[in-house]
Amino acid sequence: MEEAVERQLAVIRLGTAEIVPEEELVKKIRRSIRENKPLVVKLGVDPSGSDLTLGHTVVLNKMRQLQELGHRIQLLIGDFTGMVGDPTGKSETRKQLTREEVLSNAKSYADQAFKVLDPEKTEILYNSQWLAPMSFEDVVKLTSTLTVARMLEREDFHKRFTGNLPISLHEFLYPLMQGYDSVAMKADIELGGTDQKFNLLMGRMLQKEFGQEQQVAIMMPILEGLDGVQKMSKSLGNYIGINEGPNEQYGKTMSIPDELMVKYFELVTDVPIEELAMIKSGLAEQTLHPRDAKMRLAREIVTRYHGIDAAKAAEEHFKTVFQQGAIPDDVPEVQLAEGTLWVVKLLTETGLCPSNGEARRMVQQGGVKINGEKIDDAETQIKLENGMILQVGKRKFAKVILQ
């Protein structure tokens, strides 16, 4: 019995940033085994749409592990909060979503999440189910459970408050709604990033308020993006998307800072602990070239989302294109009419540069090549040829197709 508990704990602890409180988790697991009753695990999902990044998969990974341990995993789609318009993005108010948008976003989220989770064993819930019917009286009652000072403990609010930045009153309601979700779901465990700490604890607080057993908060570290400093996010553009092509995923992985490699291995791959230890020591003793370790990482990531063959192909592609400076074979094609075109115009027409000024600059800075020849005069006229390869910077290519 205790052995089984320990085994579960070991899996859960792997890569986890914090478990609050761990003793309660032990108790819950023990009871779950004794009564053969799986724990309810909650993961809140923001239906603001678009594509998942590797950052999102950190938590999903942990969900899957819990799933494999036999617990009940519930994905909670925040459709209600989504329709109201979540203001958490400090700088700009998010646009409000229609019912249809929310549902289609939720579906696309689930499709993506199922690349990590087992769809057969995953339940999907919507918080509009219990939030929408609440009366104003209910809301007032809910808000009376905590004070402004308590709210301001949340880092985000605190920072804005002390920094004289605006906080809208309704923003205070979001942690409450999220916390109330836990009450409605009778969650045993809620998973989230460390940035969700406040909200996860809010769930505990409200459950207590409602006379329920409190959930355990399990927090995963935040995965830094390609820049190695800021949280991986779509809006910062420093992300690897799980829907991205093999070549993109591979290349982007290669560009993460070395220091992040191990963390990536731990949080977004299935590389076994023993092997991970070898990689770590290899890097420390310099018997393993960081580049090779990173290539392994890139391979692992691409394999997960595209399969082993695609991963190998992406690696080949990477080697030829970037290590040897060759031109990739999957260059996007651009249709153009036959004739002669001013370079600057050519670059903007093909979408390689956003404006003439930008294109001009690229040329002047020596970042433009046509068929491998550097163009250094912004006034150059180009005779278009079928199959002509345009290159801007290191990564942007286009192939000319004459109509």
Partner RNA sequence: GGAGGGAUACCAAAGUGGCCAAAUGGGGCGGACUGUAAAUCCGUUGGCUUCGCCUUCGAAGGUUCGAAUCCUUCUCCCUCCA
Binding site residues, RNA, CB under 7 A = 161, 164-167, 227-228, 247, 250-251, 254-258, 290-291, 294, 318, 321-323, 342, 344-345, 348, 354-358, 360-362, 365-367, 392-396
How many whole angstroms separate alpha carbon 377 and alpha carbon 362? 10
> In angstroms, what is the minimal distance from the CB of 286 to RNA?
10
When the beta carbons of 73 and 336 are compared against RNA, the nearer one is 336
Q: Which residues contact 179 (CB under 8 A, 6 or more apart)?
A: 199, 202, 203, 204, 205, 206
Return the structure tokens found at 393.
């910077």
Residue 73 or 302: the one with the smaller Cβ distance to RNA is 302
CB of 270 to RNA, least distance (A): 22
CB of 298 to RNA, least distance (A): 9
Q: Are 226 and 253 in contact (CB under 8 A)?
A: no
Strands 340-342 and 381-383: antiparallel
- 321-to-14, 158, 194, 288 alpha-carbon distances in Å: 36, 47, 38, 23
**Judged by CB, which is closer to RNA: 68, or 258?**
258
Smallest distance, RNA to C-beta of residue 170, A = 12
User: What is the Cα–Cα distance from 221 to 301, expressed in whole angstroms?
Assistant: 18
Which residue's entry shows tokens 């290191």?
Answer: 394
Q: Which is nearer to RNA, 336 or 362 (CB)?
A: 362
Amino acid identity of residue 237, one-letter, is G
Q: How far is the CB of 267 from RNA (least distance, A)?
A: 18
Look-up of token digits 């999220």: 178
Question: CA–CA separation, 315 vs 317, rounded Å?
Answer: 5
- In whole angstroms, how close is the CB of 40 to RNA at the nearest point? 39
Least CB distance to RNA at residue 384 (A) = 14
Q: Are 71 and 41 in contact (CB under 8 A)?
A: yes
Query: Of 119 and 357, which CB lies nearer to RNA in the complex structure?
Result: 357
Q: Smallest distance from the beta carbon of 353 to RNA, in angstroms? A: 9
Instruction: Provide, rounded to whole angstroms, the least separation between the CB of residue 169 and RNA.
Output: 10
State the Cα–Cα distance between residues 76 and 122, nearest whole angstrom: 11
Closer of 132 and 229 to RNA (Cβ)? 229
DSSP code at position 322: I
SS3 342: strand
Nearer to RNA, 121 or 160 (CB): 160
Q: Are 217 and 43 in contact (CB under 8 A)?
A: no
State the residue for tokens 């109330």. Answer: 180
DSSP, residue by residue, 224-275: B-TTSSSBP-TTTT---BTTS-HHHHHHHHHTS-GGGHHHHHHHH----HHH
Name which of 347, 382, 389, 349 is nearest 365 in CA terms: 347
Question: Least CB distance from residue 33 to RNA, whole Å?
Answer: 44
Q: How many helices, marked H, and strands, marked E, lie in the chain?
A: 18, 13
User: Which residue, 21 or 354, has its beta carbon nearer to RNA?
Assistant: 354
Angle at Cα 53 formed by Cα 302 and Cα 87, nearest 5°?
A: 180
Token reading at 165: 């930045």
Residue closer to RNA by CB (options 75, 256) is 256
State which residue, 21 or 393, has the beta carbon closest to RNA. Answer: 393
**How is residue 355 written in tokens?**
């404006």
Residue placing its CB nearer to RNA in the complex, 42 or 252: 252
Nearest approach, Cβ of residue 175 and RNA (Å): 19
